[in-house]
Amino acid sequence: MLKSFHQVSQESTCQKRVTVCELLEPMRGSWQVVARESNRCDPLGGTCHRLGRADVQATYPSSSDCRWTHAERMAIAAIPFGRRPTRAIIYGHDFACPECVQALTAVGVTVIEIGRARTTVGLK
């Protein structure tokens, strides 16, 4: 069963920024969400060391002591068998990192959007 936006937002364990990724598949002239997940983190020592950082896409680290799993990767893992999403919408972040873009492309996503209509602010 597909989790609600609010539910996956609440499941995020990131102390810095809740991010949600929705994967959509074209269905009868419209779009159907087939997977929706949020980011997960497990920082060493229990506290995020990135709280004061303001990374942009060009300076975004490829690894972290946060032991993170990005929302995009979580959503990819939640794709039901036989579904073929071609569109991703990311909420709560300004970009997808290069590794996530590559992973999304590998499962067939051709369009990656930054969502503005929903917010994750205040949901945690």
Per-residue pLDDT of 23-43, as tens digits, reads 999 999 999 999 999 999 998
CB 21 within 8 Å of CB 90 = yes
Residue type (1 letter), 10:
Q
Domains and CATH numbers, the chain: 5-114 (3.40.140)
CA distance 96 to 89: 10
3-state secondary structure of 35: strand
Per-residue pLDDT of 95-108, as tens digits, reads 899 999 999 999 99
